[in-house]
Amino acid sequence: MKYEKSSMTITKASQNLVWTRCTRYGLANDECASFISTLNLRETEYGGECAQLERFTCRTNKMSSRYRTFDGSCNNPVKSSWGQALTGYKRLLHPRYSDGIEEPRRALSHKELPSARLVSTVLADNLDVPNSKNTIALPVWSQFIFHDLVHTPVRRTIHTDEAIRCCDDSGYNLSPRYVHPSCMPISVPDQDPFYKDKYVTCMDYTRSVTTFRGDCTFGAAEQMNQATHFMDGSHIYGSNSRHAAALREMTGGLLKTSLIENEELLPLATNPTEKCLVDNKSSACFSSGDIRANMHPWLTSLHSLWVREHNRVARTLESLNPGWNSDKLYHEARRIVVAELQHITYKHWIPALTGKEFDAMFDSYDVGYNSDIDPTITNSFATAGFHFVNSLLDQDIQVVDENNNVTAYRLKNSYFKPELVAEKKGLENILRGMVNQKSQKLDFNYDDDLRHHWLGGLDVMAVDIQRGRDHGLPGYAHYRALCGLPLPTTFAQLTDVISQEVVDKLSELYEHPSDIDLVVGMMAEYHLDGSLLGPTALCFFKEQLWRTRNGDRYFYTHTSEAGSFSKKQLTELRRTSLARLLCDNTDISSVQKNVFQPPSESNRMVSCEEIKRVNLAAWQDPSQQPDILTRTTKWIKNKVGSVGNSTK
């Protein structure tokens, strides 16, 4: 992957600097790493490569373009690489590595932290606790948006580009001589309640890909975002121009689709055995802007829905503006689709997740576009901020047909096996089920399928914890202090936002409050009134989503920019809803207006005719309209023709 090999070399050089210049003289690793981060790469062979990324130059036509680039570059008029794909995440706090550079964080006492799997088994349970206030659509949309903003690639072998194995096929630790340097396997305790009888001692975990530091210096490892840092539909359209072109039909502004059981779905992948967990090339597996579209049928269905929406918009624009060529139709449809996605996220999803009070406060901070605001996703948000959604998922995918007959399929059997979507009426039935099935409550109750069988035998919670350590995230206590809560020095001081029962478990696992992993602490917090999140998670969301909006020159609400919508168009875009998308692009004829909440007296099922729709006539180009004489002549010809036909 681009820059990966160079960044790994620089990381090793930084480690060598720490050892030769600091450790041997008794200087603290963190202090030394901070000093090393002031040393520029300019005088090294990698200086030019890094500077090329940092000082990316945009052509004038890109800076003034009505349309955003595919890779996120040239959004900011001064810092053209801000938000670009294949750049590093930013930090809210200085990273915490045990050697200051790359080695995983240790406890305050310098001992190893407890096994991520042990933390998971002690804290997590498998109780079925449905959430009566939300549907599965809420966590699935959360994942969908997360995949638009974040894609952290894992390292592969440099020369052969193969996956790196960190445990053997039986789940044992590899002999040290065979352990790849990029391995950071999760240790499974001897008395693990699930694995002790299976003699599994090791879970695979390969470290994330790193890239150059944003200021082109030596120093701590920084992980790469393979997606753009913008909410721009990159998971639908692709994060580079080549990928985007491969997904286009090149006629009528359309995206490619496949026709299966007379249903318009995502295009079929040419290499299904590589992109999906299927055994043969004839199995259903799809292509999209993001490989994770195949992760489970809910996500695959949402991706298919948005491709249908793009094509519906493109066809409507073509009928309104017959003189527009395929490129114009494609880019205008993409522009509208991204705006719809942003509107649903900021006006429907955020209130469902955070509560109306937070939503109103968040809106009050809308200052419009500001070129001084860096939209880059933070490492803490990417690594810990969104992973609460796994707790909300159910073990079953409920598929509901047009007669409301429900069939349940186990989620664990559907990872990267999207054949459910390819069945007759599969897409509609999955989506209908998604907006009716209740989600689980957000807590430490993870379904066993996610903790023992995720992606063929992993523990999703343990992986989330391990990833935080891999990325050098400081402990939860430091982030909560950053968000205005007191920095705890004893476990008793955590009870202001965490229950005594959970605090007791945390004190059994960790030696000190500062040792608690970020994702663990955020999951443990009480939810604020009306919100699904605790104070630290809510703080993260506000900080990141504010910059995602106000640091994006093309965000749909911004005015006076090259890509801004007219007032009339904005009025129409504000009528967008996920319910309307279901009505416009499937055979679903009735649905509740707020699909993130189950049907109820206050959110009743209504006919699609009662749900507001976006009138695309607001995008009719006046120059495309025939003059009054041409229109009158055409009308007369049609009338005469119909009279003539009726007399035959």
Give the Cα separation of 452 and 189 in Å (integer). 14
How far apart CA 94 and CA 316 sit, in angstroms, is 50
- Please name the residue that has the structure tokens 């318009």: 264
Classify residue 60: in a domain, yes or no. no
pLDDT digits (tens, 9 = 90+) for 17-57: 998 888 777 788 888 888 889 999 988 888 888 877 766 67
355 band by pLDDT with thresholds 50, 70 and 90: confident
Mean pLDDT of 345-369: 83
At residue 442, does pLDDT exceed 80? Answer: yes
Helix (H) or strand (E) holding 407, with range, is strand 406-410
Per-residue burial over 573-591, b if 16 or more Cβ lie within 10 Å, else e, is: beebbbbbbbbbbbebebb
pLDDT number for residue 387: 81
Q: Is residue 347 part of a domain?
A: yes
- Which of 13, 83, 72 has the alpha carbon at shortest distance from 47? 13
The mean pLDDT value of the chain amounts to 92
CB 333 within 8 A of CB 506: no
Q: Which of 94, 110, 147, 159 is catalytic?
A: 147
- Give the pLDDT confidence score for residue 136 in this predicted structure: 97
With respect to residue 324, please indicate whether it lies within any of the assigned structural domains: yes
Per-residue pLDDT tens over the stretch 83-139: 999 999 999 999 999 999 999 999 999 999 999 999 999 999 888 888 889 999 999
> Which has more pLDDT, 22 or 466?
466
The pLDDT tens digits of the residues spanning 550-604 come to 999 999 999 999 999 999 999 999 999 999 999 999 999 999 999 999 999 999 9
pLDDT digits (tens, 9 = 90+) for 314-327: 999 999 999 999 99
Q: For residue 408, tell me if it sits in a domain.
A: yes
Pick the closest to residue 18 from 223, 219, 210, 211 (CA basis): 219
The CATH number assigned to the domain holding 521 equals 1.10.640.10
- Given a cut of 90, is residue 281 above it in pLDDT? no
Q: Which of 204, 209, 168 is nearest to 185 (CA)?
A: 204
Query: What tokens were used for 370?
Result: 């500001």
Task: Indicate if the pLDDT at residue 346 is higher than 80.
Answer: yes
Higher pLDDT, 364 or 347: 347
Residue 363 backbone dihedrals phi, psi, to 5 degrees: -65, -30
What does the pLDDT read at residue 631? 58
* 211 in a structural domain: no
- How many domains would you assign to the chain? 1
DSSP state of 60: H
Tens digit of each residue's pLDDT (9 = 90 or more) over 194-253: 998 888 999 999 999 999 998 899 999 999 999 999 999 999 999 999 999 999 999 999
Beta strands of 136-242 (E only): which ranges? 186-187, 202-203, 210-211, 222-225
Catalytic status, residue 147: yes
Read out DSSP for 10-31? HHHHHHHHHHHHTGGGT--HHH
Q: Select from 187, 59, 210 the least CA-distant residue to 112.
A: 187
61 domain-assigned = no
Give the DSSP H or E segment for 439.
Answer: strand 438-440
Question: Is 289 within the bounds of a domain?
Answer: yes
Parallel, antiparallel, or unpaired for β 263-265 and 258-260?
A: antiparallel
Residues spanned by the domain of 281: 126-149+227-447+476-610
Residue 264 falls within a domain, yes or no? yes
